[in-house]
């Protein structure tokens, strides 16, 4: 994004993980009991099992946006990868958890996750991005060296496939994070994204959805909860190509202290996309006068025969009418603000496909609210949970 300031990323002294790896990386593959036709593996194991499929996917480059330089960075310099493949007709009943541990000072992890579902297959995935180390202490006057995480998630869905993908990002405040998610959605396939951005000093997230087959659908929800000097840049592109496709995209951000967020989205309806139904909503809640939230939804329509093509956005403080209503029922003002903010973010939490991950996300939001309000009371910026 040309108008977003990325100068807070100071990566001159950051060394990538190439031959080594962060502590705990790979724990997600330990002792897995997967049904026939399902593979969750490292890229090296994928190459050994299916060299032709491996090379066709990675060399072809069809699962990353060609015009995005930062996505191409992952294609050229990835060092760790996960491949999740479900054969046609196979139903994976339990959610698959993929965990990325990163955040050691002056280290960079560049990863790729590729998800492929055959015709009629279904699965749920929960991705966790968590720190690999505890808090780092520095001498007075010094700052914690930054670390860098760049991860891509590349999804290909066959006809009638169904995928729910949830991502919880809770990295440390010294972390720079770039994320790219790209999905090709086949005929009558269904994709559900649920993403939460909580940690990181500077986070850049881009999602590309391509509805290539007729009657395909995508539902995407993403939340941001920022405190301190955190900065979030969220971009979403959804392209309708097939007939009678559906898109429902919602982004919400709650900001405290001096946090900033940019939410930008574009829905493109091509001439071939007769009967499209698409909605894009972007909403921000500013909890202090020093925060800044920007919402820019857009539509590009080349096919007038649509069921719906709609966008909406708003940015503002907590609704005083809602506060008054809760306080008139005897609820403490601080608790009332908390209920409103967490309720504002709850739609994403409710879409996480694993109950334990839902509970974990609610705990993280509660902890971040407590840290942020404690910072307001003391005059210091809140810290990420």
Transcribe 151-193 into DSSP letters. Answer: EEEEEEE-TT-EEEEEEEE---TTEEEEEEEEEEE-TT-EEEE
How many other CB atoms are found less than 10 A from the CB of residue 13?
9
Higher pLDDT, 217 or 17: 217
Residue 245: pLDDT above 90? yes
**317 Cβ contact partners less than 8 Å away, ≥ 6 residues apart:** 285, 286, 287
Q: Of 58-67, 217-226, 256-265, 359-368, give the lowest mean pLDDT range.
A: 58-67
Token pair of 355 as six digits: 């109950």
Which residue is it, tokens 């990181």?
A: 200
Backbone dihedral angles phi then psi of residue 327, each to the nearest 5 degrees: -65, -35
Name the DSSP class of 36.
Answer: T
pLDDT computed for residue 385 by the predictor:
35
Give the residue among 184, 207, 192 at the shortest CA–CA distance from 352: 192
Give the residue among 385, 351, 356 at the shortest CA–CA distance from 370: 385
Contact 159, 188 (CB under 8 A): yes
Q: Please provide the average confidence, as pLDDT, over all residues in the chain.
A: 87
pLDDT computed for residue 355 by the predictor:
84
Q: Of 69-73, 300-304, 354-358, give the lowest mean pLDDT range.
A: 69-73
What 3-state class would DSSP assign to 143?
A: coil
Residue 264: pLDDT above 90? yes
pLDDT computed for residue 179 by the predictor:
93
Residue 351: pLDDT above 60? yes
Q: Of 49-53, 133-137, 289-293, 359-363, give the lowest mean pLDDT range.
A: 133-137
Hey, which of 92-101, 275-284, 340-349, 373-382 has the most confident mean pLDDT?
275-284
pLDDT computed for residue 260 by the predictor:
94
Cα 279 to Cα 227: distance, rounded to the nearest angstrom: 29
Average pLDDT over residues 71-91: 88
The domain limits of the chain are 15-137+144-318
Percent of the chain with pLDDT over 70: 85
Which residue is it, tokens 């930062």?
A: 70
**30 Cβ contact partners less than 8 Å away, ≥ 6 residues apart:** none
Q: How far is CA 289 from CA 5, 312, 354, in A?
A: 20, 23, 36
The model's pTM is 0.89
pLDDT computed for residue 12 by the predictor:
63
Token pair of 189 as six digits: 């396939």
List residues bridging with 245 in a β-sheet.
none
What 3-state class would DSSP assign to 56?
A: helix
E-strand spans in the chain? 15-16, 38-42, 80-86, 96-102, 107-117, 122-131, 147-157, 162-169, 175-185, 190-197, 202-211, 217-226, 231-240, 246-255, 260-269, 276-286, 292-301, 306-316
Q: Of 112-126, 283-297, 345-359, give the lowest mean pLDDT range.
A: 345-359
Cα 385 to Cα 372: distance, rounded to the nearest angstrom: 9
Q: Of 38-42, 118-122, 132-136, 148-152, give the lowest mean pLDDT range.
A: 132-136
pLDDT computed for residue 72 by the predictor:
78
Cα 333 to Cα 343: distance, rounded to the nearest angstrom: 15
**296 Cβ contact partners less than 8 Å away, ≥ 6 residues apart:** 262, 263, 264, 265, 282, 313
């Amino acid at each position: 994004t040309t108008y977003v300031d990325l100068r807070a990323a100071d990566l001159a002294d950051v060394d990538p993980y190439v031959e080594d790896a962060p502590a705990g990386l790979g724990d997600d593959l330990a002792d897995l009991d997967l049904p026939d036709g399902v593979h969750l593996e490292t890229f090296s194991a994928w190459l050994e099992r299916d060299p032709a499929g491996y090379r066709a996917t990675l060399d072809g480059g069809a699962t990353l946006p060609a015009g995005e330089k930062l996505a191409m960075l992952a294609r050229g310099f990835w060092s760790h990868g996960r491949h999740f493949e479900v054969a046609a007709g196979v139903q994976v009943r339990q959610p698959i958890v993929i965990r990325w541990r990163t955040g050691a000072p002056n280290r960079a992890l560049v990863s790729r996750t590729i998800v492929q579902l055959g015709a009629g297959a279904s699965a749920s995935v929960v991705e966790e991005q968590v720190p690999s180390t505890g808090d780092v202490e520095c001498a007075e006057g010094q700052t914690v060296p930054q670390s860098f995480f760049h991860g891509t998630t590349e999804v290909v869905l066959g006809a009638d496939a169904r995928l729910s993908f949830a991502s919880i990002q809770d990295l440390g405040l010294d972390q720079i994070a770039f994320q790219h998610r790209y999905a090709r959605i086949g005929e009558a396939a269904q994709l559900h994204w649920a993403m939460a951005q909580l940690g990181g000093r500077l986070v850049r997230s881009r999602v590309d959805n391509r509805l290539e087959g007729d009657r395909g659908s995508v539902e995407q929800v993403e939340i941001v909860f920022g405190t301190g000097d955190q900065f979030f840049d969220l971009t979403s592109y959804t392209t309708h190509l097939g007939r009678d496709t559906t898109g429902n995209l919602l982004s919400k951000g709650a900001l405290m202290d001096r946090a900033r967020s940019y939410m930008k989205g574009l829905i493109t309806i091509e001439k071939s996309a007769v009967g499209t139904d698409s909605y894009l909503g972007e909403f921000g809640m500013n909890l202090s006068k020093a925060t800044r939230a920007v919402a820019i939804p857009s539509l590009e329509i080349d096919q007038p025969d649509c069921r719906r093509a709609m966008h909406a956005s708003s940015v503002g403080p907590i609704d005083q009418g809602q506060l008054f209503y809760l306080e008139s029922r005897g609820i403490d003002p601080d608790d009332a603000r908390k209920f409103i903010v967490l309720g504002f973010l709850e739609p994403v939490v409710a879409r996480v496909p694993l109950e334990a991950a839902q509970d974990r996300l609610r705990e993280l939001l509660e902890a971040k609210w407590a840290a942020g309000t404690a910072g307001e009371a003391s005059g210091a910026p809140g810290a990420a949970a």
